[in-house]
Amino acid sequence: MFKKIIALFLSVSVMMTAAACSKEPEESNNTPSDEFTAGNPDHETTYYSTKMITLPQHADFILSFVNETGPVFIADKSTINTEEHRTYCEYTLYQCDYEGQVLSDTELQVSELYYIEDLCALDNERFVTVGKGSDFRIYSNDGSIIREGEDTGIECNRAVCKTTEGFMVWIGNKIVKYDNEGKFLDSVDVELFPEGYSKIGITGIFEQRGTCYAYGEAFITENSSTAGYFRIDFDAGLLEEYVHPYEMAQGFMPDFFLWAVDYHRNTIGEANRGDIVELDLEQKKAEICADRNNMLICPPTYGNDDGQPIKVLDKSHFYRDYTYREFNLDIAEIALVVPDDSLDLGSRTNITIQGAGVSTDSLIQNAAYYYNVSQNDYFITFDELTARYGFNSPESMKTTKLQLIAQYSNGKAPDIFYGDFFDYEYFGENDMVIDLKPYLGDDEMYDKMTRDEGKIYQVYAGYGLRGYFGRSDLYSSDVDISSLPDIPDGQQRFGNVFAPDLVYDMIGRDLRSIYRRGELTYENVFAAVKTAVDYGYEPDYTYENYDPTFQEDVGSGKTSLNNSAISNPQSYYQMSVDFRGDPVYVGYPSIGGSVHSFMPVSLVAVSSSTEHADVCCDFIRTLMTVDTQRKVCSSGYIPSNDEVLNEMIGVVKDPDNASDELMTIYRRQLIYDRNRQGEEQIIPFTSEMADNYLAMIGEADTVDIYDWGLWIIARDEVTAYYTQDKSAEDVADALYSRYLVYAQENYG
């Protein structure tokens, strides 16, 4: 069946081608070694478990470094004085070990306005910091200041790293070397950089094999830059261009590549596909330190971590910090990730989830953790597509889809498909994914996912509503393109939307249903084209002169509809404020009525080629548990489980009587506003608002899968109306012919 599908995709492809200055604190650096070797040659068989550390305080940020005893975490608690427009910081140092024990805690001696931006260990008893208030401070581990540099008064980011001679500091336009006691050794003017660049914006400094480097953005013009590593020549007093990231990528990092900071600044970090990689500047290559799929990283106790990067202590130890800043809790947690010789994940049977964005979907990642630690036979692992395939243009996505279908036809399909890149209803009809109904049963939470004939081809943990929204005094929730209500002269119908996008919204989004209902006719296609050119605009996909439409434009009367999204009571409330009236979920007006599409969260389907369908479905059930569904709410989306949805609605309607636990769980669903004094206050969700919100949710009926092939057809044909002076009739004729062939090939 996969070979049949690739033939269909290829025939359609041939047809289409023929037709036409502030940042968050960074982590620290360890002492470099002359016997430096990048990466971990045993990374494939090194496995990691988590030791959870609880810090008994509120933390806005957490910094770290490593000494001989183990990891050191410094928690920053910031207080904003609104009258003085200043932020005051308090720092507590926690010395820990690799078993996850807090061995000691110490308050750091800081002046009121000192703000730590970077730090590193000098030895087992001392560390050095840089920040606003002085160019450096050397601290003892007891929190006292041993030596302090001068206050330069420069308001910019700074960095510090350990060197063989002592330490090195970047501040302002200087990179300065000091010995271990803080005595000046040498400096380089950052403004002396290689020819061909207008300036260099440094973000990190480090030493490797005795050579000092700076990492940053080198600007060719004011609006054009490239990332690069520069050798710091203290003898000549300048920076020398050395190597660019793409020259070392080796398939690891096709774009900007290191997500996390590290103990050798910008040389170890999380690459796009999830591996932790280390760069060897002298050899100009990247090597894997740790395989993300070999790590069991415990999720946060509260809320969702929303794709927190993995931070680096050294090349064997990593962590994620959970500060819970928005929850106003008096605790912070650190998931300390350490090598575990007792863990042999390689002996388990892998269950692979493949998709674009799967490595950053915290709901999927967290569910996988709990499943993986609940048994010893199977291991949920991830295959991130964005590291190997293009997703940055319609054409690249079409090509990627063909390449993947070709792989699947050769028996290389994953166990579980992830994300909204493919149409799993189509896959199911062509026996590429299995019917999940026999495995999942008759639970009501799957009703929206169940097709008319009773089959379930896809499951999603949550969703958000997407489409056009208007005011209830003008629109109903079901709108046919042949009977759009009248609007005042001069008012836009859809806002500043390009005509090809309107045609896709009206026909392409629901082409399968339109075709099978027998409504894919020239007359209906012409009605869509005529509506698009009457209300839409000539496309300019460079967006250079594009003037976007906002929700407030509905309230002001500039436009009658706005293409937007609602995923929680806060977004519903904000829309009603912007609209100056009750919003209605129109969806996408189409032939015969509206299509009410929704954005799925953690969308999955099980491949028909898997040998472990029962295991895949056991994992999918973990996405639908009450705990995971509450985390969907913590991420700001609508849960698929109606029990959790109704629990959440009860909290936002009556927050005063909700328990502290539920208030913490549903914090991101609450409605916040500011009073005249600028103080944040919670606004109850009225019964009328709740009823309208739930009615909108009830309207949602179509998973929003963007078919870029159909969009390209609409773009090519409708653009000809403007660029080739074609009539609407001629455009409709060409569009009808191409859509009909596509539908016959794929939906016949």
Nearest to 164 by CA among 208, 214, 118: 208
Alpha-helical regions (H) of 635-707: 642-653, 660-665, 687-699
Nearest to 135 by CA among 104, 120, 156: 156
Number of Cβ within a 10 Å radius of residue 687: 10
pLDDT-wise least confident of 230-244, 333-347, 362-376, 599-613: 230-244
Q: What is the mean pLDDT of residues 6-14?
A: 41
Nearest to 428 by CA among 1, 743, 9, 12: 1
Q: CA angle, 148 as apex, 146 and 151 as ends, to 5°?
A: 165
pLDDT class for 122, splitting at 50, 70, 90? very high
Asked if residues 306 and 362 have their Cβ atoms less than 8 Å apart, the reply is yes
pLDDT at 111 over 80: no
pLDDT class for 255, splitting at 50, 70, 90? very low
Contact residues for 572 (Cβ-Cβ < 8 A; gap 6+): 566, 583, 689, 692, 693, 696
As to burial, measured by CB atoms within 10 angstroms (0-12 exposed, 13-18 middle, 19+ buried), residue 368 is: buried
pLDDT-wise least confident of 248-257, 558-567, 681-690, 697-706: 248-257
In the numeric block, the tokens 């016959």 are attached to 744
pTM of the full predicted structure?
A: 0.85
Contact residues for 748 (Cβ-Cβ < 8 A; gap 6+): none
Give the integer Cα–Cα distance in Å for 472 and 477.
Answer: 8
Give the integer Cα–Cα distance in Å for 634 and 306.
Answer: 9
Q: What is the mean pLDDT of residues 420-438?
A: 94
pLDDT class for 619, splitting at 50, 70, 90? very high
Nearest to 205 by CA among 168, 234, 177, 241: 168
Give the integer Cα–Cα distance in Å for 299 and 740.
Answer: 48
**pLDDT attached to residue 380:** 97
Give the integer Cα–Cα distance in Å for 555 and 471.
Answer: 9
DSSP state of 590: B
| DSSP sequence for 434-497 | ---HHHHTT-GGGGGG--TTS----B-SEEEEEEEEEETTT--S--BGGGPPP--TT-BSSSS-
Give the integer Cα–Cα distance in Å for 275 and 576.
Answer: 44
**pLDDT attached to residue 156:** 62
- Is residue 77 left, alpha or beta, with left meaning phi > 0 and alpha meaning psi from -120 to 50? beta
Give, rounded to a whole angstrom, the gap between the first and last alpha carbons of the chain. 15
**pLDDT attached to residue 396:** 87
Number of H helices, E strands in the chain: 18, 35
Give the integer Cα–Cα distance in Å for 265 and 254.
Answer: 20
Output b/e per residue, 93-125; b: 16+ Cβ within 10 A.
bbbbebebeeeebbebebeeebbbbbbbbbeee
Give the integer Cα–Cα distance in Å for 623 and 458.
Answer: 12
In the numeric block, the tokens 């909204």 are attached to 420
pLDDT tens-digit series, residues 218-246: 787 777 777 788 889 998 887 887 787 76
**pLDDT attached to residue 101:** 97
Contact residues for 311 (Cβ-Cβ < 8 A; gap 6+): 27, 64, 260, 261, 262, 318, 319, 320, 321
Report which listed range, 86-100, 112-126, 307-321, 498-512, is most confident: 498-512
Instruction: Give the three-class secondary structure for 620.
Output: helix
pLDDT class for 252, splitting at 50, 70, 90? very low
pLDDT tens-digit series, residues 652-704: 999 999 998 899 889 889 998 866 556 678 999 999 999 999 999 999 999 99
Contact residues for 37 (Cβ-Cβ < 8 A; gap 6+): none
Asked if residues 689 and 378 have their Cβ atoms less than 8 Å apart, the reply is no
Q: What is the mean pLDDT of residues 723-733?
A: 96
Q: What is the mean pLDDT of residues 37-52?
A: 94
Instruction: Give the three-class secondary structure for 619.
Output: helix
Contact residues for 627 (Cβ-Cβ < 8 A; gap 6+): none
Copy the structure tokens of residue 631: 């985390």
pLDDT tens-digit series, residues 268-307: 666 655 678 888 888 888 888 899 889 999 999 887 765 6
Query: In whole numbers, what is the pLDDT of the chain averaged over residues?
Result: 86
Residue 740 vs residue 205, higher pLDDT: 740
